Amino acid sequence: MRMISGAAAMVKCLEQENVQVAFGYIGAAICPFYDELVRSSIHHVMVRTEQNAAHSASGYARISGRPGVCIATSGPGATNLLTGIASAYMDSIPLIVITGQVRSDLLGRDVFQEADITGAAEPFTKHSYLVKRAKDLPRIIKEAFHICATGRPGPVLIDVPIDMQKTMIPDFDYDFPIDIIGYKPNVQGHSLQIKKAVEAMKTSSRPIICAGGGVFSANANGLLLEFVEKCNIPVICTMMGIGTLPSGHALNLGMLGSHGCAPANKAIRDADLLVLMGARVGDRAVASPGQVAERAKIIHIDIDPAEIGKNMPAHIPIVGNLRYVLAELIQKCDCKAPSEWVARVTDRKKRYSQMNIPMTQDFVEPKTFMRTLSQKMKPDSVLCADVGQNQIWSANYFEVKTGRFLTSGGMGTMGYSIPCAVGAKIASPGRQVCAVCGDGSFQMSMMELATICQENIGVKIVIMRNNRLGMVRELQDRHYGCRHSAVYLDCNPDFVQIANAYGIAARVVSSNSEVEDAINEMLCTDKPFLLECSVNPDYPSL
Q: Which residues make up the interface to another protein (CB under 8 A)?
A: 118-119, 122-123, 126-127, 130, 147, 179-183, 304-306, 309-310
End-to-end alpha carbon distance in the chain: 66
Q: Are 378 and 432 in contact (CB under 8 A)?
A: yes
- Taking the C-alpha atoms of residue 449 and residue 470, their distance in angstroms, rounded to an integer, is 24
Residue placing its CB nearer to another protein in the complex, 127 or 465: 127
Residue placing its CB nearer to another protein in the complex, 313 or 338: 313
Neighbours of 500 (CB within 10 A): 13
Q: Are 530 and 463 in contact (CB under 8 A)?
A: yes
- Provide the residue type at 511 as one letter: S
Shortest Cβ 151–another protein spacing (Å): 9
Shortest Cβ 119–another protein spacing (Å): 7
Shortest Cβ 177–another protein spacing (Å): 11
Shortest Cβ 130–another protein spacing (Å): 7
Shortest Cβ 182–another protein spacing (Å): 4
Cα 306 to chain centroid, rounded: 21
Shortest Cβ 113–another protein spacing (Å): 21
* Pairing status of strand 168-170 against strand 155-161: unpaired
- Taking the C-alpha atoms of residue 434 and residue 421, their distance in angstroms, rounded to an integer, is 7
* Closest residue by Cα to residue 272 from 342, 348, 207: 207
Residue placing its CB nearer to another protein in the complex, 319 or 444: 319
Residue placing its CB nearer to another protein in the complex, 310 or 507: 310
Shortest Cβ 39–another protein spacing (Å): 32
Show contacts of 329-334: CB within 8 Å, 24+ apart. Answer: 329/194, 329/197, 329/198, 329/227, 330/223, 330/226, 330/227, 330/230, 332/194, 332/195, 332/198, 333/198, 333/201, 333/202, 333/227, 333/230, 333/231
Residue placing its CB nearer to another protein in the complex, 124 or 539: 124
Residue placing its CB nearer to another protein in the complex, 144 or 424: 144
Tell me the β-bridge partners of 488. 468
Residue placing its CB nearer to another protein in the complex, 182 or 358: 182
Shortest Cβ 304–another protein spacing (Å): 7
Shortest Cβ 217–another protein spacing (Å): 15
Residue placing its CB nearer to another protein in the complex, 121 or 452: 121
- Taking the C-alpha atoms of residue 145 and residue 113, their distance in angstroms, rounded to an integer, is 27
- Starting at the edge strand found earlier in the chain, the sheet holding 505-509 runs 404-406, 382-385, 433-438, 460-465, 529-534, 505-509
Neighbours of 416 (CB within 10 A): 34
Residue placing its CB nearer to another protein in the complex, 126 or 460: 126
Q: Tally the residues of the chain.
A: 542
